[in-house]
Amino acid sequence: MFNSSEEAMQYIGKQSIEMVDLKFVDLPGRWHHITIPASSVNELLFYKGIPFDSSSVPGFRGVSCGDMSLIPDVATGFIDPFTELATLSFICNICEADTRANISGDPRGVAIRAVKYLRDKLSAESLWLPELEFYLFDGVAYETGNEFAYFEFDSAEIDSAESGYYNHSNGGYHALPPADRYYDIRSEMVHNAEAMGVPIRYHHHEAGARGQQEIEIVPAPLLDGADAVMLVKYAVKMTAVRYGLVATFLPKPLYNESGNGMHFHQFLVKDDKSLFWDDSAEYAHLSDSALAYIAGILDHALRLYLSLFLQITTRSRLARRSLLA
């Protein structure tokens, strides 16, 4: 939204902004924020940031070395459509309080370093198109105790012989209203996401019969795409709350219904040309770079699987030994 801190400061004054909200992401991928009155904002905010204790944030440092600083990225500024007072929001990088160097565990910082690495190695950019799938429920309840456990999801799209308008199990893909009960709410989610600067490709009802939705953004560079995912999730959840609904990106909330995924269309470009395309390639016009890229993803996935498998088997062996001791 802005090219400099000077532009941001001028905007705050001209538009009568009352609050400035600083958002950041923890290691598991959840939003956090700190809000300051616009009257307290000065140039130092954009240079040194604002200090915070990262020891209480999952995935970051302990109490002994938890002093960090949130430094706003001025390019990410947007007006928050969900606040009562005029609020200008920024996405922040998490940095050392003294050196302002980005910490290794900041997810956004990881993306920034990945972008730089790709540019340095190949003079290329990566483009990403995520598909965000989620369920909308009219109510969610769950509880556990020593003698019981239960969960319940309530949806207006549940099979109903009375209305006659419903989707068969796993038959909701691209359903049309009135079977698509949440169409207008989903459109409002998209409207709010675009108001925050996220270009949307389209939205539709997903296969899950009881309220599964999907929103896609347009292809974007890695950092912009990552920011967009977080902003769309924010728009989805905040819009749902306004209507008394619950939005969840939980991978598998319902048995025997489609789960929520987040597919990523991805490719590399250089000088506005795809590095994955080769006219003379024998298989599907995939270039050597494309095949190497796919092989790298599979290799990393296999290594992660083996690492998790070894951790689980090691713990199981230790548990059996303790029982036998």
Quickly list DSSP for 50-100: EEEEGGGSTTS--GGG-EEEEEE-GGG-EE-TT-SS-EEEEEEEEEETTT-
pLDDT at 98: 84
Assess whether pLDDT exceeds 70 at residue 62: no
Measured distance CA(259)–CA(153) in Å, rounded? 14
Assess whether pLDDT exceeds 60 at residue 64: no
H or E element: which one contains 302? helix 288-324
**How large is the angle between the packed helices 107-122 and 222-242, nearest 10 degrees?**
150
Does 101 or 229 have the greater pLDDT score? 229
Q: Which amino acid belongs to residue 199?
A: P
pLDDT at 56: 79
Measured distance CA(139)–CA(256) in Å, rounded? 19
- The domain 126-274 belongs to what CATH superfamily? Glutamine synthetase/guanido kinase, catalytic domain (3.30.590.10)
pTM: 0.90
State what percent of residues in the chain have pLDDT above 90.
74
pLDDT at 280: 94
Q: How many CA atoms lie within 13 A of 21 on its CB side?
A: 17
5-123: CATH class: alpha beta
Measured distance CA(133)–CA(64) in Å, rounded? 39
Measured distance CA(177)–CA(255) in Å, rounded? 24
302-to-156, 179, 267, 316 alpha-carbon distances in Å: 41, 41, 21, 21
What average pLDDT does range 285-300 have in this prediction? 95
pLDDT at 322: 66
Average pLDDT, the chain: 91
pLDDT at 61: 66
pLDDT at 93: 95
Q: What is the band of 317 on the pLDDT scale with cuts at 50, 70, 90?
A: confident
Where residue 87 falls (left for φ over 0; alpha for ψ -120 to 50; beta otherwise) is beta
What average pLDDT does range 24-40 have in this prediction? 93
Indicate the domain borders of the chain: 5-123, 126-274
The answer to whether 201 and 265 have CB atoms below 8 angstroms apart is no
pLDDT at 58: 73
66-117: per-residue pLDDT in tens?
688 999 999 999 999 999 999 999 999 999 888 888 888 899 999 999 999 9
CA quadruple 290, 295, 298, 299: dihedral positive or negative? negative
Residue 176's Cβ-count burial label (10 Å; 0-12, 13-18, 19+) is exposed
160-209: per-residue pLDDT in tens?
556 677 788 899 999 999 899 999 999 999 999 999 999 999 999 999 99
pLDDT at 31: 93
What average pLDDT does range 277-306 have in this prediction? 94
What average pLDDT does range 216-224 have in this prediction? 96
State what percent of residues in the chain have pLDDT above 70.
95
Assess whether pLDDT exceeds 80 at residue 324: no
Assess whether pLDDT exceeds 60 at residue 30: yes
Q: What is the band of 314 on the pLDDT scale with cuts at 50, 70, 90?
A: confident
